[in-house]
Structure 1
Amino acid sequence: MGKGRGKGKHGVGTDSMPTPPDGGWGWFVVLGSFLLHVVADGIVYSFGVFYMEFLHYFKGGKGETAWVGSLVPGVTLLVGPVASALTNRYGCRAVTIVGAIVAAAGFILSLFAPNIYYLFFSFGVLSGLGFGLMYLPAIVSVSHYFEKKRSFATGIAVCGSGLGTFIFAPVSKLLVDEYTWKGAVLIEAGIILNCILCGALFRPLVVRHNNADKNYDAEKAKQGEKEKLMKKTTESNGVQHVNQEDDLPDVQKTGTKDTLAIPSKNMHSLNVENDSTKLFRSEGAINRITSNSLAASTSKQSITQQHSGPMYRKDIFYSGSLVNIPQYRSNPDLYVTSITSLPDVIPDDHDWCLFRCLGLSPEMRDAIRQMLDFSLLKDVIFLLFTISNICTSIGFNMPYIYLPDRAVEKGISETDATFLVSVIGIANTIGRVVFGWMADKPWVNRLMLYNTALFICGVATALSPLSDSYPFLVCYAAIFGAFIGVYVGLTSVVLVDLLGLAKLTNAFGLLLMFQGLATFIGPPIAGWLYDGTGSYDVSFYVAGTVVAISGAMLYSIPFVQKCLGHRPPQDLVEISVPEQEEMKTLSA
C-alpha cells in the first residue's frame, strides 16, 4: 500500500484505505463529475422554463405549480444521508448509475401526467431521488481521488453546475417551442441517461495487501519460534507452562484505547517464581502479548478491509485545499491516519430499530449514523449556522423559478426572459472560481467572505423589483449568480473552520436535511404570495430579506464564540506515541 499509511486512532491499520493518486485516472473522475453537474444541475435550475408551460397546461395556481420545482432540489438534498449510506456500501459508480436511471424514469413517467399532482411524484419526488443519488457520489468521488489537488479538482467539477444552467435554460426553451413540454421532457430524459457513462468513470480505488499479508505471516512465524524456545526454557527450569489458549492476556477495548488485561492467576504464577525464572517467564509473557496484539490488530485490519468505503474519511466532504489544515501541512501521513479510523462498534440491541428492521449493512449503518447525529444541534455555533442555511435555502431557488415568468409579465419576450437564467449560470461559474481561489488564501477570512456574499445576494434580490427594465434584470441576475456560488462552494470549508474536521460529516449530513426541508417550502411560499397580491414584488422582497438575514446573522459568530469561550477547533492526531514512531519508520 502507499507509503506512510499506518494505524488509526483505534489501533486499526489504515492500509485498507486507498491512497488518493492526485491525478491519473482521477482526472477522468473529475470529467465525469463535471459532466454530471452540467446535466443534473442544468436541468434542475432551468425548471423556470417548464414552470411557465405547466402553468398554462394544467391551469393551476402559481403556488401549487411551484411545488413541482421545489420538490426536485428539495428531495435531492434530503436524500443525502441515504445516498451517502448507499455510496459507502456499493460505491460511487453503482449509486450514480442507479440514480441516472431513476431520474430518467421520473421524467418519462411525467409524460402521462393527468394533473399537476401527478407531477409532484414523477417529476418532483422520483426525479429528485435520482438526482440525489447522482449528486453526492459526484462530490465524494472527486474527494476520494485527490488530496493535495483537491481544491482545484473539486472546483473544476462543480463549475459544471453554472455551465449547465447557462446551456440548458435556452436549450430547454428551444425544445419546448419545437416539441412542446412533453417532447422536451422526453429528450431530457435521454440526456439524463447519458449520466450512466459519467458514473462509469467513477472507478473505485483498489487496495492491494500482498506485502502486508507476507509481512504478517513472517512475523507470526517468528513469534511461533520464540514461543517454542520459551516453552523449552521454562520447562527445563522446572516452571509450569501456562496454557496458551486459556490463560493468555486478552486484548480488551476500553473507550477508544486498546488495553491488555492479564488474568489474575497468571499474576499469581509470576509471583511464586524465583528470580531466575521470572526473567524467562516475563519474556514469554511479553512475547505472547506481542503475538496476541498482532493477531488482534490483524483481525481489526480485516474488519477495516470490509469497511473501507469513502465515507470512513472524515474529510470526504471537504472541498477546500488540504494545505489549509495545519495537521496536513505538518505531517500528511499522520493526518491521513487520523481521519481514516473505524467508528465504534454498537451492539445490535443498542442500535437504531430501523437499522435492525431493514437489516442494513455495517457500512450503511455507519454512514447514516455519522450524518444524522442530532447531538450536534446542542452546539450553539452549529445551530446558528443551520438557521442561516435554512433562511438561505428558502430564497435560493426563487430567481431560478420565477425570474423568467416575472420578466414575461413585464413585457419581455420569453427568449430574453429565459436568457436571464443563463446569465445566473455563467455568473455562478465565474463566482465559484473567484471565491474558491480567494478562500484558499491565508489572508482571507472565509467566514466573513461567506457572510458578505450571502448578504449581497439578499439585498440584490430585495431591490430587484425597483425596475423592470431588461438591462436592470440582467445586472441583478449576474450579481445573484456570482455571489450565490459561495453558498454551495464554501459551506464545507466554513464548517471546518467553525467546528473542526472531525465533525464535518455529521454537520454536512444535518445541513443537507435542513436545506432540503427549507427548499420544499421556499418557492411555494413565493407563489402563494403572488396568488394573494397579483405581483412578484412581495415575493422577491420577502426572499431577499430572508437571504440577507441569513448572511447578517453569521456576523455574530465571532462574538458568540468569545462569549462562550470557544477556541478555534484543533483536530489533533489521536494516535499514541509508539504508533507515531512506527509511522516515522514507515515514512523513512
Structure 2
Amino acid sequence: MGKGKKSNEMPKPPDGGWGWFVVLGSFLLHVFADGIVYSFGVFYVEFLDYFGGGKGETSWVGSLVPGVTLGVGPIASALTNRYGCRKVTIIGALIASSGFILSLFAPNIYYLYFSFGILSGLGFGLMYLPAIVSVGYYFEKKRSFAMGLAVCGSGIGTFIFAPLSELLVHEYGWKGAALIEAGIVLNCILCGALFRPLVAKVNKEEKDFEHEPDEKEALMKLSESNGTKDIPDVQLTPALDTPIINKNLNMLQSEHPTHFAKSDGALHKMDPSLALPSRNSSHTFQRQTSTHSHQPSSIHPGPMYRKDIFYSGSLLNIPQYKSNPDLYVTSVTSLPDVVPEQEDWALFRCLNLSPEMRDAIRQMLDFSLLKDVVFLLFVVSNFFTSIGFNMPYIFLPDRAEEAGIGKQEAAFLVSVIGIANTIGRVVFGWMADRPGVNRLMLYNTALVICGVGTAISPLNDSYAYLVCYAAVFGAFIGVYVGLTSVVLVDLLGLDKLTNSFGLLLMFQGVATLIGPPIAGWLYDGTGSYNISFHVAGTVVAVSGAMLYVIPWVQRCVGKPNHDEEIEIGENKPV
C-alpha cells in the first residue's frame, strides 16, 4: 500500500440528505446551550442579591461556564473521535443539566463555582465541539452555508433566552428558573440524537472481503504444522483481470497437485499443503499491511481525522479544492503516521487511551506550533479578545439597572447583542467568501471597531445609547467566532488547522475565565463599571490592531501566504 492510502476510507460527505437534520440539531443545540450561557447576566444580578458577595467573586460563576466550555476542547475532540458526535453530545447534555440541578442546593457562591460553573461548563463543552464537527463531517461544497445556518442559533438563542430568563426569574426565583432551564438543556439530547454517524458505502466485493479469513495468518499456521519456516511473501490481489492468467491458473490448479499464486506479476509454485480454499478462482484477495498509516480500531475513522473539520468557510476558496477535489479530499482525510509506543506521551500510556483519542489530543495539543511567530501573534490577539468577549453579556444588564433602567429592559440589551450577532455572522461570513476580500484585514478591522465601541460606551447611560452599543458590539464581535478558522487557514495552511484551533481553544478558555472577574474587581475597587468597560474595550481594540503587522512579519520571516497556496503533500507525523 502506497503512501497516503488507507484501508479504512472516510465516508464521503453527502452535502445534503440527512445532513440537513444534522444542521437542524446543531442549530437547536446552539439555541439552547449558547442562549442559556450568554443570558447569565440575568442570573448574575440575582446571585449578587441572594449571596451578597462582591461583583468580582460572583462573576467567577459566569466566567467559569464559557471558560471551561472552551478549555475542554481537546478532551471533547478526543471523545468525539473515539465515540462519535451523538454519544458525546448526549453525555454532555446530561452533565450540563446535572450542574444546573445541583446548583439548587448551593449554600454559598463557592458551591456554584463547581455546580453551575465547572460541571455545567464541562457539559456544554462536550456539546459545543460535536455540534460544529458534525456539520463539517456531513458537508463539503455546501459547508459554508450549512455551518452558517447552524451557528446562527447562538445569536437567536441569546435573543430568546435573555428575556425568557428574566421572566422565569421574576415568576419562580433563580432556583425555579435554573430548574426549568435544566429541563431545557435536556432537550439537547434530542439534538444530539440527530447527529447520526456517517458511514461509507461499501460495495459487495469489499463487504465479502471483510468476511474472508486472513490468508497470510492461515499460511503461517499451516507452515508451523508442517514444520516449514520459509514461506514466500505472496501478495494476493483482488480480481485477476487478465483472462489468460485466470485460464492458466485454473488449468494448473486442476491438473497439478500444486497451488499457484500471483506475486509481483508472476506465478509462484507452492507446496500443496499450503493451498487455501478459494471462494472464486477469478477472485483472490490482498492482505493490506502498512507501517506508515495509522489504522484506527473502528471500521470508519473518527471525524477528527479530517484536517478541515473546523474550517467554517467555503471550500471553493481553497485553490486545491477548486482545481482537483479528489486530490484535496485524499489529502485532508489521510490518517496520521503511527507514533512508536515508546515515544508516546506518558499520560497516554498511563490512561491506556485508544488510538483515536491519542491522535485527537496529540493533534490539538502540539505546542511546537507556538514557535511560529505568526501563530504566536494570533494567539496573543485571541487571548486579549477573549478577555473582553464575555464582559458585556454578564455586566451590561447590571450596569443598565444601576443607571435606573428596568430589569426587563436591561435584559433586552443582551437580546439586542444576540440578534445583532446573528446578522453580523451572516454578513461577515458572506463577505469573507467574496473573491478579492482580505479576510485578515476584515477580521482585524471588525475587532478594532468592536473594541473602540466598548471603550467609549460609558460616555452615556441612556437606554437608547446602550441599545446602539449592544447592536455594534454584537454585530462586530460576530467576526471573532465566525472567521477564526478561516483566518487560521489563510495564515498557517489547512494542514495545521486542527493543531492551531486546539491550542487557541485552550488560550481562549483561560482568557474567558479571568476576564469577567477582572472587570468585577475593577468595579469593587472603583464603584463604577466605567473603568471595566474602558479596559475591556481597549484590550479588544489592541487585539485587532496588533494583527495588522502580520503581513510585514510574514515578509520578514519569509513565510508563504497560505491564502494563495495551501500545501498538500504526504502524510506527516502528528
Bucket of the pairwise TM-score, normalised by the shorter protein: 0.7 to 0.9
Mapped contact 1:8–1:338 kept (Cα < 8 A): no
2:566 counterpart residue number: 571
Instruction: Quote the Cα distance in structure 2 between the aligned partners of 1:387 and 1:324.
Output: 27
1:69 to 48, 62, 65: 62
Which residues of 2 match residues 220-235 of structure 1 at below 5 A? none
Which residues of 2 match residues 6-155 of structure 1 at below 5 A? 9-13=3-7, 16-155=9-148
1:165 and 2:161 equivalent? no
Q: Deviations over 1:121-157 (max 9, x none)?
A: 0000000000000000000000000000000000000
1:496 counterpart residue number: 489
1:551 counterpart residue number: 544
Mapped contact 2:199–2:300 kept (Cα < 8 A): no
1:417 to 406, 410, 413: 410
1:446 counterpart residue number: 439
Instruction: Quote the Cα distance in structure 1 between the aligned partners of 2:121 and 2:71.
Output: 9
2:381 counterpart residue number: 388
2:311 counterpart residue number: 318
Q: What letter corresponds to residue 65 of structure 2 in structure 1?
A: V
1:436 counterpart residue number: 429
1:355 to 330, 344, 348: 348
Instruction: Quote the Cα distance in structure 1 between the aligned partners of 2:2 and 2:422.
Output: 38
Mapped contact 1:527–1:539 kept (Cα < 8 A): yes
Q: What letter corresponds to residue 287 of structure 2 in structure 1?
A: A
Instruction: Quote the Cα distance in structure 1 between the aligned partners of 2:194 and 2:523.
Output: 45
Deviation at 1:244, TM superposition (A): 9.3
1:376 and 2:365 equivalent? no
Deviation at 1:331, TM superposition (A): 1.0
1:524 and 2:517 equivalent? yes
Q: What letter corresponds to residue 548 of structure 1 in structure 2?
A: A
Mapped contact 1:307–1:363 kept (Cα < 8 A): no
1:533 counterpart residue number: 526
Mapped contact 2:494–2:567 kept (Cα < 8 A): no
Mapped contact 2:35–2:162 kept (Cα < 8 A): yes
Q: Deviations over 1:196-233 (max 9, x none)?
A: 00000000012243445269699999x9xxxxxxxxxx
Instruction: Quote the Cα distance in structure 1 between the aligned partners of 2:36 and 2:150.
Output: 16
Mapped contact 2:294–2:335 kept (Cα < 8 A): no
Instruction: Quote the Cα distance in structure 2 between the aligned partners of 1:145 and 1:8.
Output: 27
Q: What is the identity percentage for the equivalent residue pairs of Structure 1 and Structure 2?
A: 74
**Secondary structure of 1:349's aligned partner:** helix
1:308 counterpart residue number: 301
Instruction: Quote the Cα distance in structure 1 between the aligned partners of 2:56 and 2:130.
Output: 32
Instruction: Quote the Cα distance in structure 1 between the aligned partners of 2:425 and 2:111.
Output: 36
Instruction: Quote the Cα distance in structure 1 between the aligned partners of 2:124 and 2:93.
Output: 7
1:180 and 2:190 equivalent? no
Instruction: Quote the Cα distance in structure 2 between the aligned partners of 1:340 and 1:198.
Output: 26
Mapped contact 1:8–1:340 kept (Cα < 8 A): no
Q: What letter corresponds to residue 296 of structure 1 in structure 2?
A: Q
Instruction: Quote the Cα distance in structure 2 between the aligned partners of 1:366 and 1:218.
Output: 28
2:287 counterpart residue number: 295
Deviation at 1:36, TM superposition (A): 0.2
Q: Deviations over 1:295-344 (max 9, x none)?
A: 23589697575460000000000000110111110111111101111111
Mapped contact 1:75–1:128 kept (Cα < 8 A): yes
Q: Assess, with a 3 A threshold, how the Cα gap between structure 1 residues 524 and 292 changes in structure 2: closer, same or farther.
A: farther
2:333 counterpart residue number: 340
1:269 counterpart residue number: none
1:513 counterpart residue number: 506
Mapped contact 1:397–1:519 kept (Cα < 8 A): yes
Mapped contact 2:391–2:519 kept (Cα < 8 A): yes
Instruction: Quote the Cα distance in structure 2 between the aligned partners of 1:503 and 1:514.
Output: 17
Deviation at 1:565, TM superposition (A): 1.1
Q: Assess, with a 3 A threshold, how the Cα gap between structure 1 residues 447 and 293 changes in structure 2: closer, same or farther.
A: farther
Q: Deviations over 1:34-87 (max 9, x none)?
A: 000000000000000000000000000000000000000000000000000000
Q: What letter corresponds to residue 10 of structure 1 in structure 2?
A: G
Deviation at 1:349, TM superposition (A): 2.0
**Secondary structure of 2:192's aligned partner:** helix
User: Structure 2 regions of 5+ residues with no counterpart?
Assistant: 217-227, 236-261, 269-282
Q: Deviations over 1:471-511 (max 9, x none)?
A: 11000000000000000000000000000000000000000
Instruction: Quote the Cα distance in structure 1 between the aligned partners of 2:230 and 2:204.
Output: 29
Instruction: Quote the Cα distance in structure 1 between the aligned partners of 2:206 and 2:290.
Output: 9
Q: Assess, with a 3 A threshold, how the Cα gap between structure 1 residues 461 and 293 changes in structure 2: closer, same or farther.
A: farther
Q: Assess, with a 3 A threshold, how the Cα gap between structure 1 residues 219 and 72 changes in structure 2: closer, same or farther.
A: closer
1:459 to 438, 452, 458: 452
Q: Assess, with a 3 A threshold, how the Cα gap between structure 1 residues 194 and 288 changes in structure 2: closer, same or farther.
A: farther
Higher helix share: 1
Instruction: Quote the Cα distance in structure 1 between the aligned partners of 2:267 and 2:476.
Output: 63
Instruction: Quote the Cα distance in structure 2 between the aligned partners of 1:101 and 1:218.
Output: 38
Q: What letter corresponds to residue 461 of structure 1 in structure 2?
A: T
Instruction: Quote the Cα distance in structure 2 between the aligned partners of 1:288 and 1:381.
Output: 57
Q: Assess, with a 3 A threshold, how the Cα gap between structure 1 residues 285 and 179 changes in structure 2: closer, same or farther.
A: closer
Mapped contact 2:296–2:355 kept (Cα < 8 A): no
Mapped contact 1:451–1:552 kept (Cα < 8 A): yes
TM-score normalised to structure 1 length: 0.84
Mapped contact 2:422–2:478 kept (Cα < 8 A): yes
Q: How many residues align?
A: 517
User: Structure 1 regions of 5+ residues with no counterpart?
Assistant: 1-6, 224-242, 251-282, 577-588
